[in-house]
Structure 1
Amino acid sequence: MTEKDNIRIVPLHENPSLIARVYEIDDAWPAFISHEPVANALLSRVPEEFPQYCVVATDGDRIVARGFAVPFDAGLDGREEMPDQGWDRVLVWAFRDRQYGNTPTAASALEISVDVDYLGRGLSPRMLTAMRQAAGRQGHDALLAPVRPTAKHLEPHVPMAEYLRRLRDDGLPADPWVRVHVRAGGTVEKVAPASMTVSASLAQWREWTGLPFDRDGDVEVPGALAPVHCDTARDHAVYVEPNVWVRHGIRPPAV
């Protein structure tokens, strides 16, 4: 547990009464992300089935932030610690391993979401620290993270690898969220080029974004890290989101 300005951060399994409340916060995720099929199927089950890997922040009785992570077995045939299909892949592996009783060898963060009223208060790095500590208590020596750079949506046509090469004068990443991870001791390892995928009819994309989706080719969608590819003849559009794999080493807990 950490405390600052009345904000308390605890592992979710220590206060299971909060499991049903973790989605009470007002977050800033783009609307189309909630229609990502893997997220739709599995993400809401994470706090209940992996509470020891999740953390929650409260301010009095208010939920102000949540952090989700999952364990998985990276040693099985065809697997690796940091797959190209990033977020989607580790979430599917985590539930498959739970179903078949596979022993976890790795832990991956899934999200840190902060209520919009609490942005800019330094809460995100504290949540990241709490998530590393939670993974460490489960015996992991690292927390992996398929990071979603927060400013990348401003330059959707720039390849992620090129975007990551942009540094400030102090040598830290130009992107604010990647910078938080690096300041916290994380190491940028590689791009996850197909970390999340949202495919839907043009009518659905119009409903989610308010954009016409009436011409073939790439469409810039607010909040998207890469263009959405529109195919009018086939009446669908596909968004493939790249993320960035970051590794956080975890020190063994003091005895």
Structure 2
Amino acid sequence: MDAPPRPHDGLTITTLADRPDLAGPVWAMPDNWPVFVPHDPVGALLMHRVRDELPEYVLVATDAEGQVVARGFSVPFALHAEGRGELPDRGWDQVLQWAFADRERGVVPDTVSAVEITIVPEMQGKGLSGRMLSAMRENARSRGFRQVVAPVRPSAKHREPAAPMSEYAYRVRDADGLPHDPWLRVHVRAGAVIEKVAPASMTVSGSLAQWRAWTGLPFDTAGPVEVPGALVPVHCAPGLDHAVYVEPNVWMRHAL
């Protein structure tokens, strides 16, 4: 049974299975993801399949005029299948691959992973991300799952690309002991705990020409290059004509 719509201040959150007419607007919704992120090959291959094959795990928020203002993608997978059991170091990429491998093999899932919550730019900072996270938890609970996990991309980490994620993820505020990072803080307030760092959650590689086109930076010096929006520096290898970005995320675990 699908989680019911949640009206709130003119907003309604429902599943794409209940509103298949929103499949196009969900995909076309404006966002402010760094331009290089869609070039992760795993996401490029599988994210559209989440929309098309798992619409009951896609949440959509519409405003009073019926415009799509937020989306939340999640996938069911078998965390406790043979050879697994631990949340993967390859984070976002790996959980997408596991979800569709399980689907194709008929493996019964035992866990839901969030893979994206995106808010249109003009609605950011208004608490909608927390509502989308709550709706994702409720949707998973309504389908009989006992936990949601999430390879979280900390929202302020791009301001400190040189800081190790293993240190940044565990920073807390003196006033209340909650995470320093705003997006990690939303998850903890919703009941999550930090499980571990996923050191290689997403990988984007390309020629120097591609990275120059994506970023407007010269990419002509060997070594780390700080790129706007990147959580860690991109490794540039001019002699090999390529650069590689390996993004760490933070695994959060929500008990339901």
What TM-score, normalized to structure 1? 0.96
Match of 2:161, SS state, is coil
Partner SS for 2:240: coil
- What SS does the corresponding residue of 2:252 show, helix, strand or coil? strand
Aligned length: 250
What amino acid is the match of 2:26?
V
Aligned position for 1:112: 117
The answer to whether the Cα contact below 8 Å between 1:30 and 1:223 also exists between their aligned partners in 2 is: yes
Residue 194 of structure 1: aligned partner: 200
For residue 76 of structure 1, the aligned residue among 66, 73, 81 is: 81
Structure 2: 5+ residue runs without aligned partners?
Answer: none
Q: 1:182 aligns with which of 166, 179, 188?
A: 188
AA aligned to 1:148 is: R
Distance (Å, rounded) in 2 between the aligned partners of 1:63 and 1:52 = 17
What is the aligned partner in structure 2 of residue 159 from structure 1? 164
Checking the alignment, whether the CA contact within 8 Å between 1:194 and 1:243 is kept in structure 2 is yes
CA-based RMSD: 1.0
2:127 to 122, 127, 137: 122
Identity, % of aligned positions: 58
Aligned residues of 1:220 and 1:226 also touching (Cα < 8 A)? yes
Question: 1-side partners of 2:206 and 2:36: how far apart?
Answer: 10
Q: Would the aligned equivalents of 1:55 and 1:66 in 2 still touch at CA under 8 Å?
A: yes
User: Is 1:12 aligned to residue 49 of structure 2?
Assistant: no
Indicate the residue corresponding to 2:209 in structure 1.
Answer: 203
Deviations 1:25-55 (A, max 9, x none): 2111000001110011010120221111111
Does residue 28 (structure 1) correspond to residue 32 (structure 2)? The answer is yes
TM-score, length basis structure 2: 0.95
Task: Name the residue aligned to 2:137.
Answer: 132
1:231 aligns with 2:237: yes
| Aligned twin of 1:253 | none
**Alpha carbons 1:54, 1:134 under 8 Å: kept:** no
Match of 1:2 among 1, 6, 11: 6
2:234 is the counterpart of 1:216: no
Which residue is equivalent to 2:43?
39
CA–CA separation in structure 1 for the residues paired with 2:213 and 2:227? 12
| 1:3-28 Cα distance to aligned partner (Å, 9 max, x none) | 12211001221112212221232111
Deviation at 1:96, TM superposition (A): 1.0
The answer to whether 1:143 aligns with 2:148 is yes
Output the CA distance in 2 between the equivalents of 1:73 and 1:165. Answer: 27
Query: Residue 108 of structure 2 aligns with which residue?
Result: 103
Q: Return the alpha-carbon distance in structure 2 between the equivalents of residues 149 and 213 of structure 1.
A: 25
- Asked whether the 8 Å contact 1:81–1:106 carries over to 2, the reply is no
Q: Residues of 2 paired with 1:93 and 1:185: CA distance? A: 25
Task: List per-residue Cα deviations over 1:120-150 (Å, max 9, x = no partner).
Answer: 1110000000000111122110100000000
Q: Which runs of 4+ in 1 moved over 4 A?
A: none
Q: 1:24–1:63: 8 Å Cα contact kept in structure 2?
A: no
Shift of 1:81: 4.5
1:233 CA drift (Å): 0.7
Provide the secondary structure at the position in 1 that maps to 2:36: helix
Residue 172 of structure 2 aligns with an amino acid whose one-letter code is L
Inter-partner Cα distance in structure 1 for 2:188 and 2:114: 15
- In the alignment, the residues of structure 1 paired with residue 13 and residue 76 of structure 2 have an alpha-carbon distance, to the nearest angstrom, of 20
The separation in 1 between residues aligned to 2:23 and 2:255, in whole angstroms, is 27
Q: CA deviation at 1:119?
A: 0.8
Aligned equivalent of 2:56:
52
